[in-house]
Each structure stands twice: as C-alpha cells, then as structure tokens.
Amino acid sequence: MVRLLLWVILIAVAVYFFKRMGKRPAPRKNSPPPEGVAAPMVRCEHCGVYLPRDRALSQQQQWYCSQAHLEQGPAARER
C-alpha cells in the first residue's frame, strides 16, 4: 500500500512539472518595455504635477501639463 502511494505521488509531481514547463509563453516582438524601465517624468511649471514627458507641453525648456497652464505660464510658488 505504501509503495502504491509513493508511485502515485511521484507520478503527480512529474505531471505537475511537465505541465508547468509547457505553459511558458513565447516572447512577443511588440511587447511593452520591461517594468523596470520608466518613462522620463517632468514637472508642470504652473501646478507642480509630474507627468510623462511625452504627454507634456514644452515652451523654452519649461514643461506644462495642459494648454491652459502653458498659456498662464509659471506660477509663483511659496516654499
């Protein structure tokens, strides 16, 4: 009886590992960048919010989060 139980456990472990090895997805060509690579962030000169540089508006090396803040210009901040 113990011998049969050992065989069942051994077969179950082998099946588990074979199924796990077969589920590895193939790498995609157009996959997003790895999680460790973040988009460069910039700070809005008017309100101070951070946003990705590719979504920000720039004027003379100053970054803004929206067209309205770009038109209003930099805000005077007290710190």
Please, which residues bridge with residue 42 across strands?
A: 51
Confidence (pLDDT) at 57: 92
Confidence (pLDDT) at 12: 96
Report how far residue 33's alpha carbon sits from residue 55's, in angstroms, rounded to the nearest whole number: 17
Report how far residue 67's alpha carbon sits from residue 32's, in angstroms, rounded to the nearest whole number: 29
Neighbours of 49 (CB within 10 A): 13
- For the chain, residues with pLDDT lower than 70 are 24-34, 36, 76-79
Q: Which helix (H) or strand (E) holds 22?
A: helix 2-22
Confidence (pLDDT) at 79: 45
Is the whole model's pTM more than 0.85, yes or no? no
